[in-house]
Structure 1
């Protein structure tokens, strides 16, 4: 939907949200979106969101206050353990 955002959760973010993907209204900032996601899913996801990286249409988001464009895909990437 053009006036929506698609949010995709990966790894621990997917487990905390209980879903791989959902939608939200566009026109809000990343900070506002993470507040909404916390209200929807609770503190377990909030803990992941505090340390996650976010991609907006495949590009790292550095300004969490800029409105997200309609139709964008937001990837929520928690820190990955490596070895």
Structure 2
């Protein structure tokens, strides 16, 4: 039996905090549920980043964090960027 997954991609400070560029997790859960799992998995370094990050699901800003994520979706974790 194959488990449906979503891909989580980390950028900039989120990548450093997670210690990886990307990973997968189970599909069918909401963004809030996935973020809770990632917080538990990576702990203190990632939690503050997730609190201030923006999230794209398949390239579109996620406005409904309670909606189940479809199999094959990609979540981009974008921390605030500095610069000008």
Q: Is the 8 A contact 2:3 2:26 kept in 1?
A: no
The equivalent of 2:42 in structure 1 is 41
RMSD value, Cα: 1.3
Equivalent residue runs for 1:5-44 within 5 Å: 5-44=6-45
Secondary structure in 2 matching 1:43: coil
Conservation of the 8 A alpha-carbon contact between 1:2 and 1:71: no
* Unmatched segments (≥5 aa) in structure 2: none
Normalising by structure 1, we get a TM-score of 0.95
For 1:69 and 1:13, how far apart are their aligned partners in 2? 23
Aligned residues: 83
The secondary structure found in structure 1 opposite 2:25 is strand
Deviation beyond 6 Å, 4+ runs, structure 1: none
